[in-house]
Amino acid sequence: MSVTPDQVLDCSGMACPMPILKTKKAVDALQIGQVLKMIATDPGSVSDMDAWTKKTGHELVGQEQSGGTYVFYIRRAK
């Protein structure tokens, strides 16, 4: 992944809706343009992070999956 995250948030082991709630808090704490790396184990987070970024207007700049771990890179857009 070419994006270097400014913050890392580990939501491993959390179920809906916690990854979304924690991500919201973490992105709000970023400066505009900074990137959050969010790690989750909830398979539902793939769909949820897509929906969350669509609704909030923040940018999902990358995502990775290995085994049961999902990694999202989110850039604060506003």
Partner 1 sequence: MSETSTRIAIIAGHGTLDAAYPPLILATAALAMDMEAAIFFTFYGLEILKKDHADELKVAPIANPAMPMPVPNIIGMLPGMTSVATSMMNNWMKKAHVAKAGELLEMALESGVRLIACQMTMDVMGYKKEDLIDGIEIGGAATFLEFASQNAITLAF
Point out which residues bind partner 1 (CB under 8 A): 13-18, 20-21, 23-24, 51-52, 54-57
Q: Which of 13, 78, 14, 23 is nearest to 51 (CA)?
A: 23
Residue whose token pair is 């085994």 = 67
Tell me how far, at minimum, the Cβ of 18 lies from partner 1, in Å: 6
11 is catalytic: no
Q: In sequence order, what are the residues at sequence separation of 6 or more whose Cβ sits closer than 8 angstroms to the Cβ of residue 57?
A: 77, 78
Options 3, 8, 16, 51, the catalytic residue:
16
Tell me how far, at minimum, the Cβ of 66 lies from partner 1, in Å: 20
